Chain A
Amino acid sequence: MKRMRCAGLLRDQLLPIRHPSARMFPPHHIRRTPHFTATTTTTTTTNPRPLSTSTRNRNSATTTAPAPVETSNPNPPATTSPEPPQPSSSPPPPQTAPTTLPPCRSPTTSAKLAALHARLSLHPKFPVQTLARALIHPSADPNPLFNNRSLTTLGSALINYYATEWLLCTYPRLPAEVLRAALSAYVGAKALASMGREWGVESAFEPRADVDAGLLQFKRLPPGPEVEASGYKWWQEKGERWTNGVPEEEATASFVTSTFAGVYLHEGVGPVKQFFRQHVLSRKLDIDKLFNFVQPTRELSSLCSREGFEPPIARHISETGRRSIAPVFVVGVYSGLEKIGEGHGGSMNEARIRAAVNALKGWYLYSPAPQVDLPSKTDDDPHAPFRPAVIDVGEVIV
């Protein structure tokens, strides 16, 4: 509400500032034409009793209707429900049965949640209740109907699949170790957690009843040196690591992964692929920094032997300051008449090794010039034309 008032008074001052609810990307459901019609079926029950929230919430649970949240129409989300529960203003009812939902489980009354929904440009078919469930880590609530464990499992299967196929089709010759490192850099817990921070997700200090439903709820790892927990905790499943809590990074990553699963469930295969492209593949990763060659010259020699190229020969190209304090040598590696790599260094040996590293990177970082089709292209449309990808023979083993 504060946001609206500001927008009314200081509209022109606020315009150039990037608003927290501004779209980070064009909406990934842009191709779908009028989607606002699906959202008009909000809770329409006119209830004479002001505090009987039980029937209202049961209705909203059975209908598919989330609160329509759009940046162009910034309704305060508290007003989307007919009677927002106001535990502080109204005196506690005399009857014993409590009637208000705890704030940590009432997503329709959370302004943070609606803002997050709008910031991510999620389709209105994506209910805020799913987004709220994605924010509850199993360590905050072990009940699988309330926490995000199954959403996280589904989402991690999805994003691992899309990331692997994209890397395999874009850089077919990557060594397996580099492929694993690149996968972890794109969809590992650290990358996902930083993505969640960029989305503006905040964490609750402790999962209590009074925290907002738009905050990430999890049990924090106790401070101090990490102590091995004894046995599974009440929120853990068999096969997990024994811990006394989870770090914030892991909880944030689980939320981001669950959001992918939610997009898949409510919007479909095409939108989740576009969501993945916009949020994961748009991040820049220097894959050539991931290599670590131990014996590059031997590896290059083995590579040329395996591929049937002429054996590599290092030749001195130029130099400067040989007798000075800072000499520079430039050495090229040739296979036959073709120069396959060039490097410079303070000594001839260093330059030769760098040239071999460059030649190897040139081989491993090959990318097909016409972009081949990703295998997931035929997932949603089996009759789509499909150009098969290049299948690499594997890295050189020295």
Chain B
Amino acid sequence: MQAHDPIHEGISLQTRAGQVTLCPSRNAHSHMASRSRKASSLTISSPILQCLQYRTPPLALLPLPRRIQTAAEGGGTGRYLPPRKIIHARPQKRAPFPIRNPRPFAVNDDPARLNEMYTTLLGRDMGLTDEVKWQAVTHKSFDHGHQPFNEKLAIYGKRVCWLHASLHLLNGPPIEDKRVYEPPNFVSSLDGTPYRKPEPFLHRDYKSLVSIKDRNIRAILDPGKLATIARLVRLDNVMRWKPKDSDNLHESGQALVATQALYAIVGALALQRGGDIAGGVVRERLLSSIDWVLEKTKDMES
């Protein structure tokens, strides 16, 4: 006896007496789903679109076919392959025709452009695998999260960058505070005897500890600077995301998504190649000035 329903549409319970289906849950789910779908299609598809749908053959309105690669097809690299049992996969739950967004936002699909971006950013081939290269530039919003996305890599990469920015300040020249601090008037509360003014304790291990401040770390990991680096290495052309408004990428947060992808690349490097290689990349490419990327772009233009 085989039950065909997936678990969210209903439940099939096998008992000795036979197959028992829990009717209420199935009905509730299916009703809710169908109602919402009908309502949305009524409100969203404009009369012009409906006209088009009637007059033109439906195939012409379909978007370009998605190249979701499966292991069964075999072939090239660079796509995420689920770990096992892919042969028995059923197709993804998708409507044959996207009603809400008939023209999906076009993203890069070319591994050559992706590799070019990585070479520009990192300087050489760092030995990242192709799956991770795609994952690090894929935002969670792309393809409704069906493709591997970079959220956790960005969380980790940001902390790697934050640590190396702190160490960069620690080992660099000290940044003195311009503010002058009045030493507090230490007076004994027993008899009012004044105490001597204490002197700061200095130690050679402290190096430039005074310059480690949140403000200074934010200054060298400035979001505007990172977004500029991402734009100049053309990261925003190869990253995969879904903007809120396809006509206004700036308002949709393109810079933020690109910065997150930059952090995710650092995180992926640390996880795959180790902390010192990631630290070297952070020091050379993100914490230093952006002269290197300006030179690269000059070369690319000329």
Which residues of B are found within 8 Å of A20, using beta-carbon distances?
A: none
A31 and B283 alpha carbons, distance in the complex (Å) = 31
Nearest residue (CB) in B for A295 is B8
The digit string for B163-205, where 1 denotes a CB below 8 A from any CB of A, is 1011000100000010001011011111101111011111111
Would B159 and A160 count as touching, CB distance under 8 A? yes
Would A61 and B152 count as touching, CB distance under 8 A? no
Stretch of B11-19, B57-65, B230-238, B288-296 contacting A (4+ beta carbons < 8 Å) = B11-19
The answer, yes or no, to whether A102 is at the interface (CB within 8 Å) is: yes
A53 and B197 alpha carbons, distance in the complex (Å) = 12
Which residues of B are found within 8 Å of A127, using beta-carbon distances?
A: 201, 203
Contact status of A168 and B198, CB under 8 A, knowing A377-B274, A391-B272:
no
The answer, yes or no, to whether B86 is at the interface (CB within 8 Å) is: yes
Would A150 and B88 count as touching, CB distance under 8 A? no
Would A376 and B196 count as touching, CB distance under 8 A? no
Would A153 and B152 count as touching, CB distance under 8 A? no
Q: Which among B14, B276, B278 has the highest number of chain A CB atoms within 10 Å?
A: B276
Tell which of B183, B193, B198, B212 touches A106, judged by Cβ atoms closer than 8 Å: B198
Would B202 and A308 count as touching, CB distance under 8 A? no
Would A157 and B210 count as touching, CB distance under 8 A? no
Would B14 and A375 count as touching, CB distance under 8 A? no
Which residues of A are found within 8 Å of B214, using beta-carbon distances?
A: 153, 237, 239
The answer, yes or no, to whether B76 is at the interface (CB within 8 Å) is: no
* Chain A min CB distance to B144 (Å): 6
Q: How many A-B residue pairs have CB under 8 A?
A: 250
Tell which of A53, A297, A375 touches B275, judged by Cβ atoms closer than 8 Å: A375
Which residues of B are found within 8 Å of A98, using beta-carbon distances?
A: 193-196
A160 and B162 alpha carbons, distance in the complex (Å) = 9
The answer, yes or no, to whether B44 is at the interface (CB within 8 Å) is: no
B residues 228-284 with Cβ under 8 Å of A? Answer: 268, 270-279
Which residues of A are found within 8 Å of B84, using beta-carbon distances?
A: 308
- The size of the chain A interface, using a CB distance under 8 A, is 99
* Chain B min CB distance to A133 (Å): 7
Would A306 and B275 count as touching, CB distance under 8 A? no
A164 and B271 alpha carbons, distance in the complex (Å) = 11
Stretch of B34-42, B47-55, B89-97, B99-107 contacting A (4+ beta carbons < 8 Å) = B89-97
Tell which of A101, A305, A375, A388 touches B90, judged by Cβ atoms closer than 8 Å: A305
The answer, yes or no, to whether A129 is at the interface (CB within 8 Å) is: yes
Contact status of A209 and B186, CB under 8 A, knowing A129-B203, A265-B206:
yes
A146 and B87 alpha carbons, distance in the complex (Å) = 65
Would A209 and B272 count as touching, CB distance under 8 A? no
Would B209 and A102 count as touching, CB distance under 8 A? no
Would A208 and B189 count as touching, CB distance under 8 A? yes
| A144-B213, A301-B7 known, 5 other contacts, Cβ within 8 Å | A143-B181, A349-B22, A379-B276, A382-B276, A388-B272
Nearest 7 Cβ contacts at the A-B interface = A397-B145, A393-B148, A308-B89, A378-B274, A105-B198, A145-B200, A209-B186
Show 19 residue pairs from A and B whose CB-CB distance is below 8 angstroms, ordered by the A residue.
A62-B202, A101-B196, A144-B181, A151-B209, A154-B170, A161-B163, A165-B156, A179-B155, A210-B189, A308-B70, A309-B85, A312-B6, A313-B6, A313-B12, A314-B7, A352-B11, A389-B272, A395-B145, A397-B145
